[in-house]
Structure 1
Amino acid sequence: MVDVQLGKLWCASSDFKNLKMMKIELYDKIYDCVSKYALFDSRSCRSMLKEKFPEVPDCALGGIMSLYYQRQMKFTLNKKLSKINQLYTRYKNAVEAGERPGILLRMAQEIEVCPSLLARAILEKHFEAKDENGKEVSRSYISGLMKDANLIKNHVLSYEVYLCVLHDEEYGPISNAINHSIGVEYELKLQRLVRDLKIPFHDENHLRASGYDKTPDVKLEIPIAIDGFIVNWIESKASFGDEESHKGILKKQLLSYVNRFGSGMVIYWFGYVDRITQDNGKQIIIRNSFPADVILMNPKCIDPSVDEYNL
């Protein structure tokens, strides 16, 4: 029996009471510890981080570890899989030699590649542009095999791919499903909190139906004020926010929201580094939870002779 404990689940069930804005010095120490640990031995790395930084919530530790792994793959994957012919030959030789199951998992750990990414590369090499019935294959066909390894007729390769998907905490169908589920969970949590305040809003589905291509998770129909800051929209991020990731989100999403809807707020539910609050000017505020000190607009306080809202 394979023992699997996907680390991303710790983020969904973590206690956020002690979650605070993280000083850059502490973040650097955690990131450095992850970088010196055996890459993608995530379970052992997670245990080490929890022991070394007991004051930091699990969700923040997991978020930082995930950011590091993703960046390593972004910059090294093509190089590490450039010798896929040798890797495939090595895999076939191991099968012929009768090695115990988990061949691809051990190879992935040795060359420091996420198991699902190695499994996909081996699958593509195995089919060489044709399936087991002689038909040409596509990327979507390979993706289907990754989602359901039972469709792979070679039973040894089927089980090897299954193990890689099962053990991969950063990539692959299971990890993607968990990420999506956690993201939706916090979007719904945000909507519930806004709804409890009886603030009318539109979600991203409604906005897209209205023709917007880039949409925040919540667009408030009536603005709110937080610490003297006007909030027109709110974006939910079930992740940890550091400088590099926040800059990417600013460029791809948040600045377009500002251009369309005005100032707003992003919530990093798993925490963020204090330094990212320095470059947002007066257009975006950052929080790690939904603020308690929300000021709602009181229509009774609106002076009809003045074309402004009194909050």
Structure 2
Amino acid sequence: MILTKAQYEEIAQCLVAVPPTRQSLRKLKQMFPRYLSGVMKDGTAPVLLELANEVDYAPSLMARIILERFLQEREESPPSKSVINSMLRDPSQIPDGVLANQVYQCIVNDCCYGPLVGCIKHAIGHEHEVLLRDLLLERNLSFLDEDQLRAKGYDKTPDFILEVPVALEGHIIHWIESKASFGDECSHQAYLHDQFWSYWNRFGPGLVIYWYGFIEELDCNRERGILLKDCFPTDLVTLGQGIAQP
């Protein structure tokens, strides 16, 4: 699905959450005494999850705040972000069994944030890379994948480089990148800066597939060598063969 910027902003306006204020963040940090009081009464009750629901806050983010406060009081110094992330990925590392269980409950009940959601996103991304690979094979397009490119010594690589370039709507395509997400302005600009222009600089012009759509106005770098699509194009033209057939 391709949306205009105006359509996207209209939808986003309906979904956007009120940004946290200093007062609301202070209120979240004050949840630690309530957490301690709750688990003292019943350590098996989903105290942390209920606190998150009470203030309409993502459970895994609430777990992060409480875990950080717990470790800070225990170690008498702020814990590093890597330590926090490691414990959130594997709550069994948390040096308190009750808190470990509370954090685990938050993670498995969070549909938007946290390590579990990260794993799901990674799996969906891999699934779409496999889909793209199959579509390339169906059309007999020869390519090198990310693993093969890294074996050749490349550090930043697109998902697939075509060994023989193809043409799409009058533009030459050397590489294809799969994104199992919607391309909004913020994420696309980050991808351009961190990935796409690097690919363009090393391998030439290419194609990005946002499988869940993108904002139409973002497809503005075609003449510079980066095209956007929301599905695998059926009108790829191969050298001396015409349109690639499945």
CA contact 1:104–1:160 (8 Å) conserved in 2? yes
Corresponding residue of 1:31: 12
Corresponding residue of 1:216: 158
- TM-score, normalised to structure 2, is 0.84
Residues 24 and 92 (structure 1 numbering): CA distance in 2 closer, same or farther, change over 3 Å?
A: same
Corresponding residue of 1:246: 188
Distance 2:80 2:120 in 1: 25
CA contact 2:178–2:210 (8 Å) conserved in 1? yes
Structure 2, unaligned stretches of length 5 or more? none
Corresponding residue of 2:201: 259
Counting aligned pairs with the same residue, the percent is 39
Residues 138 and 246 (structure 1 numbering): CA distance in 2 closer, same or farther, change over 3 Å?
A: closer
CA contact 1:233–1:264 (8 Å) conserved in 2? yes
Query: 256-265 or 165-174: which moved more?
Result: 165-174
Pairwise CA RMSD of aligned residues?
A: 3.1
Corresponding residue of 1:87: 31
1:101 and 2:82 aligned = no
Match of 1:128, SS? helix
Distance 1:206 1:80 in 2: 49
- Shift in Å at residue 90 of structure 1? 2.3
Distance 2:166 2:112 in 1: 36
Structural mapping, 1:1-311, within 5 Å: 20-35=1-16, 76=20, 81=25, 86-98=30-42, 101-128=45-72, 140-150=82-92, 152=94, 154-298=96-240
Match of 1:240, SS? coil
Distance 2:166 2:118 in 1: 34
Query: 177-186 or 190-199: which moved more?
Result: 190-199
Cα deviation code 1:65-122 (max 9, x no counterpart)? xxxxxxx6xxx59986567652312211233355983332333345454321221231
CA contact 2:89–2:115 (8 Å) conserved in 1? yes
Residues 204 and 157 (structure 1 numbering): CA distance in 2 closer, same or farther, change over 3 Å?
A: same
- Shift in Å at residue 155 of structure 1? 4.3
Match of 2:2, SS? coil
**What letter matches 2:51 in structure 1?**
M
**What letter matches 1:231 in structure 2?**
I
- Shift in Å at residue 158 of structure 1? 2.8
Corresponding residue of 1:304: none
Residues 129 and 210 (structure 1 numbering): CA distance in 2 closer, same or farther, change over 3 Å?
A: farther
Match of 1:290, SS? coil
Structure 1, unaligned stretches of length 5 or more? 1-19, 40-71, 302-311
**What letter matches 2:71 in structure 1?**
F
Structure number with the higher strand fraction is 2
CA contact 1:23–1:274 (8 Å) conserved in 2? yes
Distance 2:97 2:16 in 1: 36
- Shift in Å at residue 264 of structure 1? 0.5
Corresponding residue of 1:12: none
Distance 2:188 2:224 in 1: 16
CA contact 1:207–1:215 (8 Å) conserved in 2? yes
CA contact 2:44–2:98 (8 Å) conserved in 1? no
**How many matched pairs?**
241
